[in-house]
Amino acid sequence: MKIVAVLDAKAAAEKSVAMMVRAALSAFPDDFAAMEEAKREDYLRTLEGSPFFRLVFQETLVGLYGDPAVSTLLGYEGSSVEHGGYLKRGFDDISWLPTNKPLLK
């Protein structure tokens, strides 16, 4: 995982980060990985304000959604000027919306 690698690098570069991460991880419940998703989220909510959580949150946000492979997967189409924009490539192709008739005249 790229995000884990980023956190590892930060921990390797800064001793205080390494200590913080180690302390936070050692406090995790032993069966955390085996818990169901909702339970894991409940546990993480208890850490929300901590520096450890904020670090992992920021790196995950940027590392996950800022990764071009991920954002492409989620439907972000990126730069368009080299393709001539969307004028002929679906800027107005919405299909599920009912027709736009004003209810009031």
Name the phi and psi angles at 8, rounded to 5: -60, -45
d(CA 91, CA 85): 9
Decide if residue 37 touches other proteins (CB under 8 A). yes
Quick one: which of 27, 33, 34, 38 contacts other proteins (CB under 8 A)?
38
Contacts of 74 (CB under 8 A, 6+ apart): 65
Residue 15 CB, shortest distance to other proteins, in Å, is 26
Q: Could you tell me if 59 and 8 are in contact, meaning their C-beta atoms sit under 8 angstroms apart?
A: no
Under rule CB under 8 A, how many of the chain's residues touch other proteins?
38
For residues 50 and 80, which CB has a smaller minimum distance to other proteins in the complex? 80
CB of 57 to other proteins, least distance (A): 6
Q: How far apart are CA 18 and CA 11, in angstroms?
A: 4
Q: Which residues bind to other proteins, rule: CB under 8 A? A: 37-38, 41, 45, 57, 61-62, 65-66, 70-71, 74-81, 84-87, 89-98, 100-104
